[in-house]
């Protein structure tokens, strides 16, 4: 699927459409978000959080690497947002409890810069690609 988003509202709508395709598994559902700085990855996760009913403001985990949000959602207990920009390999995620969070089927995980930790991502990781077209337009493709 490929879409052009010309606004935050359009990105929000697309996030809802993708969220509706998610089927629970016996492990966490993991999405890798690929794209340059400013391409809309964090905006997309904010939209996902909104659709899941998260009341608190979601902020980029760039400096803390991982943020875990408790959900009151019938499908998932936690939304986990990871920014792997400053990581060099997946081993560094293990110190943040990766084994535990990635094996819990009640977790929905979004990882920005998944290429930096690709060595530990499971085969069934889903990828969403973000391309910066101009100040308002993004191309978003979902595998």
Q: Would you call 45 exposed, middle or buried from its count of C-beta atoms within 10 A (0-12, 13-18, 19+)?
A: buried
Question: What is the pLDDT of the chain when averaged over all its residues?
Answer: 92
- The residues near 13 (Cβ < 8 Å, ≥ 6 apart) are none
- Structurally, the chain folds into a number of domains equal to 1
Q: What is the CATH number of the domain that holds 85?
A: 3.40.50.300
Q: Residue 54's domain spans which residues?
A: 2-142
**Contact by Cβ (8 Å): 76, 106:** yes
Query: Is the pLDDT confidence value at 113 over 90?
Result: yes
Task: Give tens-digit pLDDT for 26-81.
Answer: 999 999 999 998 888 999 999 999 999 998 888 888 888 999 999 987 789 999 99
Q: Which two tokens stand for residue 16?
A: 């809802």
109 φ/ψ angles, rounded to the nearest 5 degrees: -115, 130
pLDDT at 35: 93
Cα gap 56→63, rounded to integer Å:
19
pLDDT at 89: 92
Q: Among 38, 61, 37, which residue's Cα sits nearest to residue 49?
A: 61
């Amino acid at each position: 699927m490929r879409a052009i988003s010309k606004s935050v509202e359009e990105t929000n709508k697309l996030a809802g459409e993708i969220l509706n395709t998610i089927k629970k598994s016996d492990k966490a559902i993991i999405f890798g978000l690929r794209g340059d700085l400013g391409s809309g990855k964090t905006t997309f996760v904010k939209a996902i959080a909104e659709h899941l009913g998260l009341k608190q403001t979601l902020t980029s985990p760039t400096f803390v690497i991982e943020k875990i949000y408790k959900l009151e959602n019938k499908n998932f207990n936690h939304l986990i947002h990871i920014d792997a920009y400053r990581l060099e390999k997946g081993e560094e995620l293990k110190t943040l409890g990766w084994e535990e969070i990635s094996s819990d089927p009640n977790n929905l995980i979004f990882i920005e810069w998944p290429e930096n930790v690709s060595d530990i991502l499971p085969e069934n990781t889903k990828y969403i690609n973000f391309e910066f077209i101009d100040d308002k337009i993004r191309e978003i493709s979902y595998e």
